[in-house]
Every structure is written in structure tokens, then in C-alpha cells.
Amino acid sequence: MRLRAGSAVRLVVWTAVLAAAAMAAGALIKGPLGGYYFRLLILSGIAVVAAVSLNIINGFSGQFSLGHAGFMLVGAYASAGITLFAHHSINRAFDAVGLPAGARTPVEFAIAMIAAAAAAGAVGLVVGLPSLRLRGDYLAIATLGFGEGIRSIFVTVDALGGASGLHDIPEYTTLTWVVLAAIGVVMMSRNLALSTHGRALFAIREDETAAQAVGINTFKYKVLAFVIAAAWAGIAGALLAHSDKNIDPRSYSFMKSIEIVVMVVLGGMGSVTGAVIAAIGLTWLPELLRAAAVYRMVFYSALLIVMMIVRRQGLFGRAELSIRWMAETLRRMTSRALGERR
Amino acid sequence: MALLEVDRCTVAFGGLIALDEISLKVEQGEIVGLIGPNGAGKTTVFNMITGVYKPAKWRTMTSETESARQVLPTARKRVHYGDIVFDGKSIRHLQPYEIASRGIARTFQNIRLFNNLSVLDNVRSACHVHAKASIPGAILRTEAYQKDERRILKSAVHLLHVFGLGKYKDEMAGSLAYGEQRRLEIARALAVEPKLLLLDEPAAGMNAQETRELAELIKQVRDDFGLTVLVIEHDMRVIMSICNRIYCLDYGEVIAHGTPDEIKNDPRVIEAYLGEG
């Protein structure tokens, strides 16, 4: 690929502007918001990364993966491995190149996240190659099995931390990192969806036989979607591990995968903005329902059930939330209301 | 040399021989018809050419009688695979998507559009074969990628106008009327920029007027796009009016082939359709 200077410069400038804005916003709101809500903000950002990336598999390509938490776990361990065990050698390398003290933590964390993405992407490739030959329910079962299998490996092998997981992970995750990752995955999804590669994924979702008949290498694209999504799940895992300051493999179970699937389904399969809103909503909802004490999860489930009855296609269906979409919906609703009055 | 040559290909599903050593040739620029009673194996021929089914290997014995096969299990066998040669190259081993990118596009008997994509995106998704943009290029929206997307958009819109579907370009494909869905499927196939177009019962479910228009459209498309067409059709008015040559299939075998006039008067064809007189 020949990367024109224009797009590379644009990418760097936008990243810098966003990072600065997120940093400033984080510093401004952390005090008034309080530690509890600030942490919820971070968790919802991580949920966005997980849900939007899963949407690439479940929403765009129409395959059903139930193993997303497994890839998050791979990313969590890979990044923690770097910040815990390679910390000193990385710092020696920083000494050698004379990197200023302020830039060390971000660069180290960036390396850890790239490692997380690479490791999770590689595991995604290994899992995807055999299991993407399956379809529908069988694929869901296979990915579920792989996800739990990955977790079992981390729990059983003592050299990887064993059942107690990893502790004393530095708290590197800031609002800035979370915002950058969330915007990164959203922009990537959107640009992918608008391109010929995104249309290939949609074609596979709609009709695999017809997709092949127009020359789309369906297997390659399914694996590709799987690997990209797994890599972003790895980044989500890295962010979560460096926010929790420990990795408890039990919290990356099959239930975690289901939670992410629920976000994608609720937002509307294939809708990027839907996944974003559902991820944020479903992170805050159980916390806001704390007032209902023991009935909290009852309300939560009831809300999901009602939602699926009233709007089976999810909040946005396949549409994206945009100014144009809002304007059109508003116009439709008002004209309907006026029409009824007449 | 023929554009497409199917040489003694057999397709079997378990013990059922769906196609029995089928051979057929399609010359550059021809419109060739494939007819035959229901269950004769016409669609299986399409599925075999497009790589959905692979030709089976089959064996001939040096002694060809059935009893020889039983008595002499070790008799010398010759293994044949049959071969499908398109544009001078064998395509027998290729995957369906590879065959499409070599230049064979098809439509389906029971329309298979991407129903929840717009009419425009149905055609654009078939331009994929000729898209040059890499995935990183698409994600970073490079100049080269944007130029490529503009080119795809332009050719897709052009195709839609040729097929009179321009005004529906933002509608969902699934919401189109039946005849328009048929036309959109042909437009989508043409977006692959094929050399050979396979049409599976394009006139099914159309009224007389629509059928006449369709026959004209097929001829026009052949001329304008420099295509070769292989068409399965039950409507004999369509077949007789547009085809240069016709193959007639029955029970997985070619029972006759020739010009429309020859086929019309062939006793074996009449028998296959109407039974023995």
C-alpha cells in the first residue's frame, strides 16, 4: 500500500487533537464527577471498544461469535506481561535512546497495547481458521468453547498466573487512552463499512452463496473480520487490566461474552452507533438500578426482554444514528402525528 | 477455440448420478440455451460450471460391462475427472469466487439478492473483483482508495441506468417488485464484468410483455457488453427467439443439441417432454 502523506498527516493531527481534548476533559471532570462515576466512564469506554469490535463479526459479516471475552483475556495477559515483566528492560531501552520521563509511561503502554492487539489477533486467526468453516449455531458453540478454553489455559497453567491471575498491574489506563481506543475502533468500523471490503462483509451476511458468485472470497473475509475484531478485543482487555490493576480470569468468562453480544444485539446488529450507545447504556444501567437493591438484575432483565419485544431489530436496526437520520425520523413522526389529527 | 468447454463431467450425490458424462461447448459471442424437463440437471450444470459442485472422478473399465466390474475387481481402470475449460484454462479445481473473478457470472433460479442492502450496494458489492483498494487504504481513506470508490460508484450507477433501475438506487433490494429483482440480479452479475453470463430461468414468473422485454434485454446486453450467454429457460418462445444453439438435457444426459429448428423437431426432445407417442 502506498500511504499518501495527506492521510497519514491527517491521522496524526486528529489523534493529537483528540488526545489533548480527552486529557483536558479528563482533568476537568474527574474532580466534580468523583472516583466512582469516573471509573464508570472508563468502563463504558472499554465496553464501547469491545462491543463495536464484536459488531464487525456479528453485525457486519453476520457470523455469530460468543468468544469475545476470551480474546479480551489474551490481550489483558499480553499487555500485563509487558508492563509487569518487561518493564525494566523497556526502561533500559528508554535510557539508551534518552526518552524523557514524561513520555515513558505512554510509550510503554502503547507498546503493551500493540502487543495485546497482536497476541489477540494471532489467537483470533488460530481460532478463526478452523471454526469459521462452521455456520450459525455451530460457529457460536465453537467460539464459546474456544473462549472458555483460552480462559481455562490461563487458570490452569501456573506459569501464567494460575487461578489467582495477575496482580500489581500498574494503573496506566486513563480516560485519554480509552477515548482514543473507542474513537479508533468506531472510525475504523465506519471506514470499513463504507468501503468495498465492508460491502463484501455485508454481502456475506446477506447471502454467502451469492457473495461467492460475485467473486467475494467469503472465507478470507470472515477470517479477516474475526482477526480485526479479536485484535480490538485484545486492546479492550489491555485497557481493562490496566484499569482494574489486576486480572481475575474468572471475570472474563462466557457471561462477559454474552454481555458484549447483548450490547451488539440491543444496539442493532451492524449499527456502529447502536453498539456505542448500547455499550454505554448497558454499563450505566445496572449501576443506576442500584437503588432497586436486590431487584436490580430483575429490572435489568425485564428491560432487555421488553426491548426485544418492542424493537426486535435493536435500537437502530441497521441504520446509523446521524443528524440526517434524526431529522428524517422527526419529520416522519411529526407528519404522522399531524396526519392523525386531521 | 470455444470459450467454455465442458468435457465428460459427472456429478454424483452419493449414489445418485445427477450429471452423467456431460459435454458441451459454448463459443464466444453465442447465446446458448439449456432446456429439459424438471429434474433433468440443468441447474446442476450451472452449479458445476461455477464451482459449487465439483465434477466427480469416474472410472471406465478396460472391459465395460457391468459383469466384468464384479468379476474382475482388479481389472485395469482408467480414472477420468472430466474437465471444464474456460478461456483456455481448466477451472475444475477453482473455488466459486475464483471462477467468478475469471469471468463467469450467474443469476439464480430463486433470486438471491442481498435483500437488506440498497440496490446500489448490490451492484457495488459485485464490483469487488475489480476493486484495487487495500484494507489499510480503506481504513485510512487514502487518495487512491477514494479514487477507486468513485470509479466503482460511477460504473455501478451506469449499470443501474442501463437496466432502468436508476431511480431505485437507494431502495432496499428486497423491497423491489419481482421483475425488477430479476433485472437487478442480471445487473449485479454484469458488475463482475464477466465474459460468460449464466442465466437460470430469467423469465420465470414474468408475464408475456415482461418476457418479450427480457428477451430483447438479453440480446442487447450480449451485443453491448460483448458477452457470451448460457441460459436455462422453460419458456420456449424466449429460447427459440434468442438462442443460436440449444442443448437438451434429460436424466443428467445431453439427449440432443442443435439449432432451435433442429431441436424443435427432434423426436428425442419431443419424447422427453411429452412422453412416448
Domain count for chain B:
1
pLDDT at B58: 59
Does A196 contact B131 at a Cβ distance shorter than 8 Å? yes
- Is the pLDDT at A157 greater than 70? The verdict is yes
pLDDT at B63: 44
- Residue A319: partners with Cβ closer than 8 Å, 6 or more residues away: A268, A271, A274, A325
A83-97, A160-174, A281-295, B238-252: the lowest-pLDDT one: A281-295
Q: Per residue in B188-214, pLDDT tens? A: 999 999 999 999 999 988 888 989 999
Q: With contacts defined as CB-CB under 8 Å, which chain B residues touch A192?
A: 135, 138-139
Contacts of the segment B7-11: beta carbons below 8 A, 24+ positions apart: B7/B82, B7/B83, B7/B84, B7/B85, B8/B80, B8/B82, B8/B83, B9/B48, B9/B55, B9/B82, B9/B83, B9/B84, B10/B55, B10/B56, B10/B58, B10/B82, B11/B41, B11/B44, B11/B48, B11/B53, B11/B54, B11/B55, B11/B56, B11/B252
What is the DSSP pairing of strand B31-35 with strand B245-250?
A: parallel
In terms of phi and psi (left: phi > 0; alpha: psi -120 to 50; beta: otherwise), the region of A7 is: alpha
The pTM for the full model equals: 0.89
Please check whether residue B149 lies inside any domain of the structure: yes
Q: Does A202 touch chain B (CB under 8 A)?
A: yes
Please check whether residue B168 lies inside any domain of the structure: yes
Q: Does A97 touch chain B (CB under 8 A)?
A: no
Q: Per residue in A11-20, pLDDT tens? A: 788 888 888 8
- The Cα of B2 is separated from the nearest Cα of chain A by a number of Å equal to 22
Q: Per residue in A307-338, pLDDT tens? A: 888 887 888 777 787 777 778 878 887 887 77
Partner residue facing A214 (CB), from B125, B134, B145 = B125
Q: With contacts defined as CB-CB under 8 Å, which chain A residues touch B127?
A: 196
Residue A155 has, within 13 A of its CA and on its CB side, a CA count of 13
Q: Does A224 touch chain B (CB under 8 A)?
A: yes
Does B142 contact A3 at a Cβ distance shorter than 8 Å? yes
Partner residue facing B106 (CB), from A8, A197, A213 = A213
The answer to whether residues A81 and A111 touch, using CB atoms and an 8 Å cutoff, is no
Contacts of the segment B149-153: beta carbons below 8 A, 24+ positions apart: B149/A194, B149/A195, B149/A196, B152/A196, B152/B124, B152/B127, B153/B120, B153/B124
Residues of B at the A interface, defined by Cβ within 8 angstroms: 50, 52, 95-97, 100-101, 105-106, 108, 112-117, 121, 124-129, 131, 133-145, 148-149, 152, 188-189, 191-192
- Dist. CA A223–CA A100, nearest whole Å: 41
Q: Where does the pLDDT of residue A2 fall: very low under 50, low under 70, confident under 90, or very high at 90 and above?
A: very low
Per the model's pLDDT, the better-predicted residue between A161 and A48 turns out to be A48
- Is the pLDDT at B120 greater than 70? The verdict is yes
Q: Where does the pLDDT of residue B59 fall: very low under 50, low under 70, confident under 90, or very high at 90 and above?
A: low
Please check whether residue B158 lies inside any domain of the structure: yes
Q: Average pLDDT, stretch A22-43?
A: 86
pLDDT at A340: 60
Please check whether residue B60 lies inside any domain of the structure: no
Partner residue facing A4 (CB), from B112, B113, B143 = B143
- The Cα of A110 is separated from the nearest Cα of chain B by a number of Å equal to 20
Please check whether residue B235 lies inside any domain of the structure: no
Does A196 contact B100 at a Cβ distance shorter than 8 Å? no
The C-alpha cell 466427480 sits at: B56
Please check whether residue B56 lies inside any domain of the structure: no
Instruction: Using only the alpha carbons of chain A, give its radius of gyration.
Output: 21
pLDDT at B67: 43
Please check whether residue B93 lies inside any domain of the structure: no
Please check whether residue B240 lies inside any domain of the structure: no
Q: Does A204 touch chain B (CB under 8 A)?
A: no
CA-CA-CA-CA dihedral for A256, A36, A241, A129, to nearest 10: 30
Q: Where does the pLDDT of residue A5 fall: very low under 50, low under 70, confident under 90, or very high at 90 and above?
A: low
Per the model's pLDDT, the better-predicted residue between A161 and A139 turns out to be A139
Does A7 contact B141 at a Cβ distance shorter than 8 Å? yes
Domain that holds residue B130: 113-178
Does A7 contact B142 at a Cβ distance shorter than 8 Å? yes
Q: Where does the pLDDT of residue B122 fall: very low under 50, low under 70, confident under 90, or very high at 90 and above?
A: very high
Percentage with pLDDT > 90 across chain B: 62
Q: With contacts defined as CB-CB under 8 Å, which chain A residues touch B139?
A: 188, 191-192, 195
Q: With contacts defined as CB-CB under 8 Å, which chain A residues touch B115?
A: 206-207
